[in-house]
Amino acid sequence: MIRSVRGRFAGVDAGGVVIDVGGVGLLVHASPTTLAALPRVGDAVSVEAHLVVREEALDLYAFATPEERALFLALLGVSGVGPRLALAICGLDSPEGLRRALVRGDSRAIQEAPGVGKRIAERVVLELRDRVSALNGGSPEGAGAAGGPSEEARQGLIGLGFRPEEADKALVDAPEGLDPEGLIRHGLERLHRR
């Protein structure tokens, strides 16, 4: 797998950024955050990268920092989020700013990305909220590491016989600061209203 690309910044193309590597111009897709960090045309450039292999194409994505690449990969793990949406979300803010938005449960901030609707934004927050602290070394600010209150409540609802998708939907708009029991109560109320 391609993890990084080093070469000369050849310019911006309609489909992305061109990096000249040993006489071969590689077209890489990059977020506005990464574009802002690139040097002038003709200067040496080194970026983190991820290759997405699809049946009809090989697409290379570039990132200014390892943190942005890690966020992109985490977003790819969310159901319904492909590389283009993941890159659009990465372009909203710095990885740290996006991590804070996810920890706060701010789905409206995620919805600002082109092509991201309310459901996808809520799913991103729900699936990544408890995992994003790992993207930044597990700093205390990222309260809710894997196994946090939301995940415990999700597992509790599944243990009560609800499907994982039902548990996820029931916890999407849960108020902040609830312990697992409070989250389960909230989830049960939402599930019984249907």
CA distance 124 to 130: 11
Conformational region of residue 105, where left means phi above 0, alpha means psi within -120 to 50, and beta covers everything else? left
Q: Which pLDDT does position 136 carry in this prediction? A: 46
Greater confidence (131 vs 64) lies with: 64
pLDDT digits (tens, 9 = 90+) for 25-61: 999 999 888 998 999 999 999 999 999 998 888 999 9
All domains of the chain, ordered by start, with CATH?
4-63 (2.40.50.140), 66-136 (1.10.150.20), 149-193 (1.10.8)
Q: Which pLDDT does position 61 carry in this prediction? A: 95
pLDDT-derived band at 133 (thresholds 50, 70, 90) equals low
Q: Which pLDDT does position 190 carry in this prediction? A: 83
Average per-residue pLDDT in the chain? 85
- Percent residues over pLDDT 90 in the chain: 45
| Cα angle, residue 109 at apex, residues 141 and 145 outer, rounded to 5° | 30
Beta pairing partners, 21: 24
Picking from 66, 69, 99, 64, the residue whose alpha carbon sits closest to that of residue 86 is 69
Q: At what angle do helices 164-171 and 180-193 cross, to 10 degrees?
A: 100
pLDDT for residue 65 is more than 70: yes
Sign of the torsion angle spanned by Cα atoms 150, 155, 159, 163: positive
Does the pTM surpass 0.75? The reply is no
Picking from 146, 115, 141, 154, the residue whose alpha carbon sits closest to that of residue 128 is 146
Mean pLDDT across 51-76: 91
pLDDT digits (tens, 9 = 90+) for 137-193: 444 333 333 456 777 787 777 777 787 778 888 888 888 778 888 888 888 888 876
Greater confidence (111 vs 54) lies with: 111
Helix (H, G, I), strand (E, B) or coil at 139: coil
Q: Which pLDDT does position 138 carry in this prediction? A: 42
